[in-house]
Amino acid sequence: MSGHDNISSITDRWYLEDSTWAKVRNALLFLALVGWAGCAAGYAMEPDRFFRSYMVGFAYSTLTCLGGLFFLQVMYLTGSAWSVTVRRIVEHLVAAIPVCAVLFIPVVLGIHSLYEWSHTEEVMKDPILRQKMSFLNVEAFIIRGAIFFAIWSFLSWKITSQSLAQDSDHSVAHMDTASRWSAPGLMLTFLTVSLAAFDWLMSLAPHWYSTIFGLYIFAGGGWTFISTMMIICQLLRKNGILTKSITVEHYHDLGKWMFATTAFWSYIAFSQYMLIWYANLPEETIWYKVRWENGWEVFSYLLIVGHFFFPFLALLARGSKRNLGLMFGMAFWVLFIQYIDLYFVIMPNFYKSPTPHWLDFFGWLAPVATVGVVFWSRFRGKALIPVGDLRLEQALTHQNI
C-alpha cells in the first residue's frame, strides 16, 4: 500500500466549509475596521500618541510574521517531517508579510513624531547625531525599509508557492527548490531583521546602541509566532478541525519550540544587560537607567518574572508540553508579555513614566487584525495541510520519544 493510500484512511477535515471560513473572515474584518476607526480618531485628536502606540502594534504584528518566515526556512533546511501538518498554517501567516509593508506606511508618515534624528535642526545641534546622519536620515530609512520588505516578501512568496504547487503534482522538486531558497534566505532574514530592528526600534533612542539588540528583538518575534501557532492549531481543534492531523505529539513539539525560544530570549536579554552593566559606560547604561525609575521599573520586574521565570518553569517538564490546556493558556500569556516587552522598548523613549492610553489598544488591534484577515483569507479553497508533501504520512504518524 502506498503512502497516500495510508493517508486516505485517515478521516479528518482538511478543508474549511465556506460558512466557517466566511464567519471567521467577517469577524476579523469587523475587528480590523474597529481598530482602524479607533486609530483614525486617535490620529485626529492626538497624532503623536497615535504614531507611538501604532509603532508597538506594527512591530508586534510584523515580527510575528517574520518569526514564521524563520520557522518555515528552518523546517525546510532540516527536513523536518513532524512540522508538515502545521506548515500550511505557517505559510499563510508568512504570506501576510507584503501586507506588513502597507502597515509600514503610517510609520513613515509619523517619522517626525517618532524619531529625533528626522529633525534636521536637532541633528545640527547634536554632534553624535551629526556623525550618524549619513545612515539615520529620512530617505535612507525609507529606502532600507522598502528593501527589507522586498526581500521578505520575495522569500515568503518563493517558498510558500512551492508548497501550494506540490499539492497538485506531488513532485519532490518543489521541496528541493524551497530548501535551496531557505539556505540563503535564512541568512538574509537574520541580517535584514536585525537591521530593521536597529532602524525602527533602536534608533528611537539614537544616542544608545547595542550590537545584540537585533537578535533580542527577533527572538521575541519568534516567541510570539510559536505561541500564535499554538493558539490557531488549538482553536481549529476545538472546532473539530485537524483533530487527527495535528495530534498531541505535534503540540509537544510546538511546546519544545516555545520553551526553546523562552530560554533563548532570556539568554540574549541577560547577555545584553550584563555586558552593558559590566562596561558601565554612560552612553550605554542610560537606556536601562530610564527603565528602572519613575514607574518603568514595574515593567522591568514584570519582564524578568513573566518573560523568563514563569514560562521557563511552566514549560520545563515534559508533561507540561503535552497538556493542551496549559499550553493554550501559556500561549496567550506569551502574546501578552511580548506586547509588554515591545511597549517597554518603545514607550520610555517618549514618556518619563508609564502613561497607558486607549490608543494603545487600537494601535495594536488595527495591524494585528489586518494581518489576521489576510492570513485567514488564504484558507479559502486550499487544503489546511500540505496534502502533496511526500512526508505527510510520516508527519501524521509522528511520535515523540
| Residue 322, φ and ψ in degrees, nearest 5 | -105, 0
| Residue 95 confidence (pLDDT) above 50 | yes
pTM of the model: 0.94
Helix axes 84-94, 213-238, angle to 10 degrees: 120
Residue with cell 539588540: 213
pLDDT surpasses 60 at 8: no
φ, ψ dihedrals at 356, nearest 5°? -55, 145
Band (111; pLDDT cuts 50, 70, 90) = very high
Half-sphere exposure in the Cβ direction for 207 (13 Å, CA): 15
Is 199's pLDDT higher than 80?
Answer: yes
| Alpha-carbon distances, residue 73 vs 181, 184, 256, 263 (angstroms) | 8, 10, 18, 21
Q: How many CA atoms lie within 13 A of 3 on its CB side?
A: 12
Give residue-wise pLDDT tens across range 128-156: 999 999 999 999 999 999 999 999 999 99
Residue 293 has pLDDT above 80, yes or no: yes
347-364 pLDDT, tens per residue? 999 999 999 999 999 999
Residue 397, φ and ψ in degrees, nearest 5? -105, 15
Q: What is the mean pLDDT of residues 47-76?
A: 97
Average pLDDT, integer, range 373-401: 91
Mean pLDDT of 105-126: 95
* Dist CA 10 CA 393 (whole Å): 10
pLDDT grade for 177, boundaries at 50, 70 and 90: very high
SS3 334: helix
Closest by CA to 257, choosing from 331, 325, 329, is 331
Are 395 and 84 in contact by the 8 Å Cβ rule? The answer is yes
With CA atoms as reference, report the closest residue to 185 among 203, 206, 160.
160
pLDDT at 3 over 70: no
If pLDDT is split at 50, 70 and 90, which confidence band does 5 have? very low
Q: b/e per residue, 204-230, with b = 16+ CB within 10 A?
A: bbbbbebebbbbbbbbbbbbbbbbbbb
pLDDT, average across residues 191-218 = 96
Measured distance CA(206)–CA(116) in Å, rounded = 7
Residue 190 cell numbers, joined: 537574520
Looking at the predicted structure, is the pLDDT value of residue 16 above 70? yes
For the chain, give the percent of residues with pLDDT over 70. Answer: 97
What confidence tier does 1 reach under pLDDT thresholds 50, 70, 90? very low
Is pLDDT of 2 > 50? no
What pLDDT does residue 200 have? Answer: 98
| Residue 11 pLDDT level (bands cut at 50, 70, 90) | low
| pLDDT at position 401 | 73
Distance (Å) of CA 211 to CA 184, 194, 284: 22, 9, 11
The predicted pLDDT at position 144 comes to 97
Residue with cell 544587560: 273
The residue type at 353? S
Distances (CA, A) of 85 to 63, 195, 224, 383: 23, 32, 20, 11
97's grid cell = 508579510
